[in-house]
Structure formats: C-alpha cells, structure tokens
Amino acid sequence: MPFPVNAEPVPLFTDADGVVRIGSSRVTLDTLIEAFQEGMTAEGIVEQYPSLGLDDVYTVIGYYLKHQVEAEAYLRNRLKKAAEVRRQNEARFSPTGVRDRLLARRSQG
C-alpha cells in the first residue's frame, strides 16, 4: 500500500495589522520563534501556548528553518516597528513618575 505524500499548507496567516500568526490562534510568529531560539522544544511551546497544535508548531519551525533569511528580515522589521511605537508612546505619555502618580490617585480614592 503506497504511503500518501501530500503537501500541507503552512499554518501561518497575516492579520489586518500585518502581523503573522500561527493557525487560528492569536500567537504570533515572533513569539513562537523567540521561544524556539531560546531552546524551548515544540512540546514546551505547546504547553506554554495551548491554543497551538503540536503539528502546527513543528510545521512552522520547519518553515522558519527553510526560510530563515526572509523570516529574520520580518522579525527585525517587527522589532523596529515595536521600538518606534514605544518611542511614540513614551513621547505622549512620559513613564517618569508613573508609580508616584498612581499611588497619589489611589490615596485620593
């Protein structure tokens, strides 16, 4: 009996904000790859993010390893965008004195 060999789609999708997510979950490619690079196993990733299937995690890791140059470029771009958003937020809402302001607000209420 022949073994069926079929190409399976990679369980990645890009949401409306341009963020790549895994399967039907809200887990981002960034999160999965960071966990993998820190030495977490696919089983450990699924344990940490139970909305992911083990098969999807292995498929995405394999895809990442085959497309590492493109994936790393995407991840660098995401880090750059996150840093820009952080700068914009800090410019609008200074983090200096946040704790003191919150404690003052708590004592008034």
pLDDT in tens, 88-99: 988 887 777 888
pLDDT of residue 30: 96
pLDDT of residue 104: 87
- For the chain, residues with pLDDT lower than 70 are 109
- Residue range 1-77 forms a domain whose CATH class is mainly alpha
Burial string for 77-103 (b: 16+ CB within 10 Å, else e) reads: ebeeeeeeeeeeeeeeeeeeeeeeeee
